[in-house]
Amino acid sequence: EAGVAQSPRYKIIEKRQSVAFWCNPISGHATLYWYQQILGQGPKLLIQFQNNGVVDDSQLPKDRFSAERLKGVDSTLKIQPAKLEDSAVYLCASSPGQNYGYTFGSGTRLTVV
Amino acid sequence: GQQLNQSPQSMFIQEGEDVSMNCTSSSIFNTWLWYKQDPGEGPVLLIALYKAGELTSNGRLTAQFGITRKDSFLNISASIPSDVGIYFCAGPLDKLIFGTGTRLQVFP
């Protein structure tokens, strides 16, 4: 089966600019996650969707980050405006349900200068 | 909040050696997972553990779910160069939290 697709792979922006990341999960996977991985650290959960509804966004900095999964399939994560400390790899993962193992995409590496 | 501490932080070993790493949680988990991350890639699931005391193998990898449910262990036997990467413990499944990672370097 095809894996989790993410784009772009790399993005460099200036601080205060906006950026959006896209994720296409494995077909049929109801649960989708966005993680932020800062260099040298483990991934940190930002938001979890079940179909097109938000299950957990308690770690999402909502003043600048937003995410949506309108039709319960693809998802986008947006940062507006970006700060230097947002430089990280943004990973998307999906699973068939909340009690199954996650499959991760290759991530989008964001550099804010 | 919950924290997962892994040790050691990094390991430098010779090809053929065995490797052991562990992970401890500040709270009880009902599932433990071990992932490996290669440079520029997302984490890949290696082993999942669902019951206290469970011992599960995947090729040269063996992982154990600690009986206290607050720890887990991963062993790699007869290491090879492609074992190089960062190993993360994670749990529980309903909201996956990742550990601090163990960076493994294997020298020929």
pLDDT digits (tens, 9 = 90+) for B64-77: 999 999 999 999 99
Token digits for A8?
A: 């772009």
CA–CA gap between residue B78 and residue B72 (Å, rounded): 20
Across A54-82, average pLDDT: 95
Selected residue of B98, B100, B102, B103 to mutate for chain A interface (largest A Cβ count, 10 A): B98
- The answer to whether the CB atoms of B100 and A43 lie below 8 A apart is no
- pLDDT, position A61: 96
A99–B contact, CB cutoff 8 A: yes
Across B70-85, average pLDDT: 97
Q: What's the CA angle centered on B37, arms A78 and A88, to 5 degrees?
A: 30
Partner-chain residue, chosen from B41, B90, B99, that has the shortest CB–CB distance to A106:
B41
Q: Is the pLDDT of residue A3 over 90?
A: yes
Token digits for B90?
A: 């994670």
Quote the percentage of chain B above a pLDDT of 90: 92
Across A19-46, average pLDDT: 96
Residue type, B14: Q
Cβ contacts below 8 Å, chain A against chain B, sum to 47
Selected residue of B21, B29, B94, B100 to mutate for chain A interface (largest A Cβ count, 10 A): B94
CA–CA gap between residue A5 and residue B54 (Å, rounded): 33
What is the per-residue pLDDT across A24-35, written as a single tens digit (0 to 9) for each? 999 999 999 999
Residue B86: how many CA atoms within 13 Å on its side-chain side? 21
B47–A contact, CB cutoff 8 A: no
CA–CA gap between residue A1 and residue A31 (Å, rounded): 17
Q: Is the pLDDT of residue B93 over 90?
A: no
